[in-house]
Amino acid sequence: MGRSRNGPGELRGSRHRGILSQAREQYAKADREAALETIKPILDSRHVGPEAQLLYAGILVDNRRSGEGSTFWFVLPITNTNDPNSEPGEQASPEHGAREQVAR
């Protein structure tokens, strides 16, 4: 019998895709707070991180539209394109992240 080709990275990616799918379902059912909590552990995932961050930001914007009243900040990482010594896909340092203020 052949050995499984699923390595730890593929299994982690599959698990992260499942978490992202669960968060999307929660968001579709208007359970935004649950979706935000579900998605937090995978925001920095190398498998689904950008998709998770986009969903997270979309939920925050949707919360803003519902007028829940509080204001908070979050930082979106940006790719470090100005540093010729950076590796492809390397994140810029936090102080160079894009800041976005969201009023809820």
In a domain? residue 3: no
Retrieve residue 35's tokens: 């979706």
As a whole-number percent, the residues of the chain with pLDDT over 70 amount to 57
Domain that holds residue 13: 8-103
Retrieve residue 40's tokens: 């937090």
In a domain? residue 72: yes
Number of domains composing the chain: 1
How far is Cα 61 from Cα 22, in angstroms, rounded to an integer?
19
| pLDDT over 70 at 4, yes or no | no
In a domain? residue 1: no
- Enter the pTM of the model: 0.58
**10 sits in which H/E element:** helix 8-28
In a domain? residue 2: no
In a domain? residue 53: yes
In a domain? residue 88: yes
Q: What is the pLDDT of residues 43-88, one digit of tens each?
A: 999 999 999 999 999 999 988 876 554 555 555 555 555 555 555 5
